Structure 1
Amino acid sequence: MRNKYIIRSFMTAVIILIISSFYTLPYYVSKPGLAKELGPIVQVENGYEEAGSFMLTTVRMGKANIYSYAMAKLNPYHELYEIDEIRRENETVEEYNVRQLHLMSSSKQSAIETAYKKANIPIHYKYHGIFVLNVKPGMPADGKLKAGDRIFKVDGNEFESSDQFIKYIAGKNEGDVIEFTYERQKKINETKIALQMLQETGKPGVGISLVDDKEIEVNPNVTINSEDIGGPSAGFMFSLEIYNQLVEEDYTRGYKIAGTGTINSNGVIGRIGGIEQKIVAADKAGAEIFFAPNESGAQDSNYNAAVKTAKDIGTKMKIVPVDTFDEAIDYLNKLKSK
C-alpha cells in the first residue's frame, strides 16, 4: 500500500513538472551558458596556429516557465527579466530573434574591421541591400514585409546604402505606391506598398526599421561560424582570435583566455549583459584569464561585477579590465608565456 502511495506521488510530481515546463510566464530567465574555444569557430585562411585558446562566453536565455522561475529565485546566477527589459515595444519573438542574429552579424563585421586594421590589411565592402529589423504594427508594411527580409530593389532601383533608400522615399508623397523587391528564405518576392506619413519623422514611409546589409571582403579570407548564437557580446573575443591568426606572434601565450564585450570598428569595447553568468561559465571551462569591459572605470562596470562574482565563486581566474582592443593586446604583450 505504501509503495503504491509513493509511486502515485512520484507520478503526480512528474506530471506537474511536465505541465509547468509548458506554461510560460511573462519573464525571461538567463543562466550560465558555455565558454567555447574560438579556434574551431573562427578560420582565417592560412592563419597561424596558437598554443592556447581564446574563448567566447554565452548565457542561456529563454522564456520562463514555472520551473525555471522557481530555480531563478533560488540560484544567485539565474536572472529574471520582465519581457519589456528584453524585447522592444511591440517587438515579436521572431523580430527579437532576427535582431539578435543581426547584432551578431554586425559584431562579426566590427571584429574583422578591428583585427584587419590592427594588422594593416586593406578592407573592402560589398553592399547587398537593406535588412528589415522589424515592422511596426498597423503601418503599411505590416503583413507585407517581415523581420529578416532583405530588400535589394525599390521601384527597380538598386542603392549603395540605406541612406540612399531613405532619401529616395523622402522624395515621394504620401499615398505614392512603391514596389519592393526582396528576398525571404532564399526566395525572391515583390510587393507594392503605399506610403504613409510617419508621425515620428513627418516624412513618408512604410513603417520599417532597417540597417545596411553589407559584406566585408578581405584577403586572406575569414569565416566565423557562429551558428545560432545571437547578440553582439562576442565581438571583442572574435577580434582577438582573428588577429591572433593573422599575425605570426601567438598572443594566447599558451593560456585559456575567455572574455566578453561588444566592439565597434574603432576597437572600442562596450558593456554587455549577463557578465555574472559568463564568469561562472568561463570558470567551469577552466579559463585562466577573463577580459571584462571596464567602461572607463564606472562604478557599476562589467569589470567590477565580474570581480565580485569571481570572488563569490572562489575562482582562481584573473579578471582583466579592458576598454579597447589595443589595451587587451598591450596586456597580452606583457604576459609571460607558459
Structure 2
Amino acid sequence: MSAGHDHTGQGGADGYYRGYATADTSGPTGAGGTRVTVGMAIGLVLCVLLVAGVAIMNMVDVAKVLYRPGPIYNTLGETNGHPTVVVEDAETYPTGGELNFTTVTLYGGPRYPVSAWDWLLAEFDPNTDIVDEDLVYPPDMTAQQVQEQNTELMMESQDAAAVVGVRAAGVEVPEQVKVAQIIVDAPAADTLEVNDEIRSVGGTEIHNPAQVRDVLQGFEPGDEVEFVLVRDGEEITLQVPTGEDDVEAEDGSTETRTVIGVYLASDFDLPFDVTIDAGSVGGPSAGLMFSLAVYDKLTEGELTGGHVFAGTGTIDSSGTVGPISGIRQKMISSANHGVEYFLAPAGNCDDVRGNEPDGMEVVKIETFDQARDVVEAIGQGEDVDLPRC
C-alpha cells in the first residue's frame, strides 16, 4: 500500500511477406490461409495458460498482509480539504513549514484480502513488506471490528496528542486515571472494578497510566500493593494483589514484570477545544506529529523555521513516544515528498537501520520533549547533534 514495434524485413514489406509465404506449407493454416506454425501454437497455449493462471490466482486469497507506502499529510495544513488541527477559544499563532504525519497503504485481513497474484507481485516490489496475517490481525476478527478498532485507536491518539501539546504550551490539563477493563482471572479481578479512579499506588500519587505500571515494578509479583481509589464518589483504600507477566524487552530478551491484570484509560479536562481531523486514516501512529502541531499553534514563532518534517509514533499523556508498524514505507513516502527530517520512534530503530533514504535525515525520538527540542533547534538554525538509530 501499468508500444509496439515497426518490424521491417529486408527488401521492404512486400519482400517480408513474400519470404514468409515461401516457407514449408504442409502444416495447418488459419482463417484466410494464415500460416499457423508450431511456435505460434505453443505461444497461444502459453498465453491461455498464463491468463488462466492469473485468473485462478486472483480468486485464491492468501493469509498475508502487504505494507506499501501511503500518502502523507501536513498537520499544519489540511487533510482532504479540512484543517487538520483546529484550536478554538484560545490564542493561536501563525505556523509555517510542514509537520507531516505519515501513513501506509495496508492490504490484507478481513477488509482487503490479498490474492495469490497480489502476493506474487509484491514479492518483486522492493517497497512492499509482506508479513503473515496472524501477526497483524487476531483470528476471526471481522472487517467491522477492524474499522472500529482503528477508529478508536485514532481517537485515543488524538486525545493524548492534544493533552501533550497543550501541556507543553504551559497550560494545565487535569487527568484522571481509571480502570477501563479487567482481564479474566487477573490478580486484581476480585478487588478492582471498572471505572475505579486511581489516586495513588504504593504511596505514590498517580497522574497518568504509565506511572501505575512503573510504580508496580518496585514490588515483587505476589505482593499486595496499597491503592487509593475513588469508587462511586467515595475515596477508599484497598490492598490489591499482583501477579507476573513475561514481556519482551527492547534488546529482545524476556523480562518478568509485576502486573495487576487490568487495562487503564485516562479522562482529561481540556480548558479549550482541540479538534484533530485525520480524514479516513485510522490507528494511533500519528500521535507524535499531532502533538507537535497543537504545540506549534499555541506558541509564538514557527516551530519548524520553514523546514519540512515528517514523522510517526504513538504518544501517551506522559509524552512517551511508542513504536509503530510500516516505518520503512513511511520513510519512503516522506523521501518522495521531499521531507528533510524524519522523526522515528526509538523502538523502531531495528527497522530503520540500513533503510534510511538518501537525502533525508532520520532522527531517533523517545519523547515529545525531545522531538520538540530537535525541531525547534533545527528551525532556529542551530548546529544540532541529531540522535540517530
TM-score normalized by structure 1?
A: 0.65
Q: Residues of 2 paired with 1:21 and 1:36: CA distance? A: 32
Q: Residues of 2 paired with 1:58 and 1:263: CA distance? A: 16
One-letter identity of the residue aligned with 2:298: L
TM superposition shift of 1:25: 1.3
CA contact (8 A) 2:72 2:100 kept: yes
How does 1:245-264 map onto structure 2 within 5 Å?
A: 245-264=297-316
1:305 is paired with a residue whose SS is: helix
- Which residue of the partner structure matches residue 125 of structure 2? 75
- Which residue of the partner structure matches residue 235 of structure 1? 287
1:123 is paired with a residue whose SS is: coil
Q: Residues of 1 paired with 2:306 and 2:48: CA distance? A: 51
One-letter identity of the residue aligned with 1:288: E
How does 1:173-184 map onto structure 2 within 5 Å?
A: none
How does 1:211-226 map onto structure 2 within 5 Å?
A: 216-226=268-278
Tell me, yes or no, if structure 1 residue 305 matches structure 2 residue 351.
yes
TM superposition shift of 1:69: 0.5
Q: Residues of 2 paired with 1:242 and 1:18: CA distance? A: 49
Q: Residues of 1 paired with 2:94 and 2:58: CA distance? A: 44
Name the larger-Rg structure. 2
Aligned residues, how many? 260
Q: Residues of 1 paired with 2:275 and 2:46: CA distance? A: 53
Aligned partner of 2:339 among 279, 287, 290: 287
2:335 is paired with a residue whose SS is: helix
Q: Residues of 1 paired with 2:54 and 2:176: CA distance? A: 51
CA contact (8 A) 1:71 1:78 kept: no
2:373 is paired with a residue whose SS is: helix
CA contact (8 A) 1:276 1:309 kept: yes
Q: Which runs of 4+ in 1 moved over 4 A?
A: 1-22, 124-127, 210-217
2:63 is paired with a residue whose SS is: strand
Tell me, yes or no, if structure 1 residue 335 matches structure 2 residue 378.
yes
Q: Residues of 2 paired with 1:286 and 1:240: CA distance? A: 20
TM superposition shift of 1:9: 8.2
Q: CA RMSD in A?
A: 3.7
2:355 is paired with a residue whose SS is: helix
One-letter identity of the residue aligned with 2:62: L
Tell me, yes or no, if structure 1 residue 56 matches structure 2 residue 108.
no
Q: Residues of 1 paired with 2:263 and 2:196: CA distance? A: 12
Distance 1:336 1:242, change over 3 A: closer
Tell me, yes or no, if structure 1 residue 163 matches structure 2 residue 215.
no
- Which residue of the partner structure matches residue 113 of structure 1? 163
Greater RCO, 1 or 2 (C-alpha within 8 Å, sep 6+) = 1
Identity of aligned residues (%): 26
CA contact (8 A) 1:126 1:216 kept: yes
Q: Residues of 1 paired with 2:269 and 2:195: CA distance? A: 21
Distance 1:124 1:288, change over 3 A: same
- Which residue of the partner structure matches residue 169 of structure 1? none
Q: Residues of 2 paired with 1:164 and 1:61: CA distance? A: 37
How does 1:122-161 map onto structure 2 within 5 Å?
A: 122-123=172-173
- Which residue of the partner structure matches residue 104 of structure 1? 154
CA contact (8 A) 2:176 2:268 kept: yes
Q: Residues of 1 paired with 2:355 and 2:128: CA distance? A: 13
Q: Residues of 2 paired with 1:12 and 1:255: CA distance? A: 54
Q: Residues of 1 paired with 2:58 and 2:267: CA distance? A: 41
- Which residue of the partner structure matches residue 91 of structure 1? 141
Distance 1:22 1:54, change over 3 A: farther
**CA deviations over 1:57-95 (Å, ceiling 9, x no partner):** 111112221232012211233122222101124433322
One-letter identity of the residue aligned with 1:33: G
TM superposition shift of 1:126: 11
Structure 2 alignment gaps of length 5 or more: 1-29, 79-83, 109-113, 185-192, 198-261, 382-389
One-letter identity of the residue aligned with 1:331: V
One-letter identity of the residue aligned with 1:255: H
Structure 1 alignment gaps of length 5 or more: 137-160, 166-209, 296-301
TM superposition shift of 1:7: 10
Q: Residues of 2 paired with 1:12 and 1:49: CA distance? A: 62
